[in-house]
């Protein structure tokens, strides 16, 4: 299974050109889009952007996306906000939005809402796609403060996803393996970042892609 992970496009439509190029070059079978498709734009704008990606695409909203994004993109992509689907033998679980921020952005959820949104969908060994990261993992802002979600971290510790994908924190690009879960923050697509992931019975392989790569 080979796929591209993108997040935090923030309305930069020109980035779709290189995203489509990476899809073709790497033979990606689909795209997982982790939110912030727009920068406080409309659901219609989000759908237009997503529809221009030349691949089957699974989408969750970010905190800078409109509340109606899930419904608006469902006609052109797979809406994964608060949903789970079977994906080549894996259970893919998605929940968008972020935890509460100091910026009072459009799509924020309380920790209880994040936990209650994920818990009924989750299962052992799933692939988890959230906009906000788990607290303490790929979630540090430049000051060194961790701003991820304790509720998402709790779900991860209970259900042990094989892969936990998040964005939101633009500076926390990277990959970590913790207790058998591979965590990935691909970095903001707005600035030329994404990740290419291959999964098979041998494991998970992550290639972080930066602006110098395309």
First to last CA, the chain: 22
- Band (pLDDT 50/70/90 cuts) for residue 103 is very high
User: What is the rounded average pLDDT of the residues 160-175?
Assistant: 98
Distance CA 47, CA 191 (A): 21
Q: Which domain holds residue 125?
A: 2-213
Whole-structure pTM value = 0.98
Bridge-partner residues for 195, per DSSP?
Answer: 5, 208
pLDDT in tens, 11-67: 999 999 999 999 999 999 999 999 999 999 999 999 999 999 999 999 999 999 999
The pLDDT value given to residue 78: 98
Q: The domain that contains 19 carries what CATH number?
A: 3.60.21.10
């Amino acid at each position: 299974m080979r796929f591209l992970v993108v997040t935090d496009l923030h309305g930069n439509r020109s980035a779709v050109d290189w995203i489509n190029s990476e899809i073709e070059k790497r033979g990606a079978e689909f795209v997982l889009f982790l939110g912030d498709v727009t920068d406080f734009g409309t659901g219609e704008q989000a759908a237009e952007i997503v529809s221009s990606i030349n691949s089957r695409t699974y989408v969750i909203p970010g905190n800078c996306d409109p509340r109606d994004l899930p419904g608006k993109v469902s006609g052109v992509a797979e809406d994964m906000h608060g949903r789970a689907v079977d994906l080549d033998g894996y259970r893919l679980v998605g929940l968008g939005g972020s935890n509460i921020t100091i910026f009072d952005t459009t799509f924020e959820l309380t920790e209880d809402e994040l936990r209650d949104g994920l818990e009924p969908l989750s299962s052992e060994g799933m692939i988890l796609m959230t906009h906000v990261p788990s607290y303490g993992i790929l979630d540090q802002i430049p000051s060194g403060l961790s701003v991820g979600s304790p509720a998402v971290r709790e779900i991860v510790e209970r259900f042990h996803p094989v892969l936990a994908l998040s964005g939101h924190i633009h500076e926390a690009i990277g990959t970590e393996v913790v207790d058998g879960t591979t965590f990935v923050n691909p970095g903001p697509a707005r600035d030329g970042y994404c990740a290419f992931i291959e999964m098979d019975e041998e494991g998970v392989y992550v290639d972080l892609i930066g602006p110098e790569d395309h």
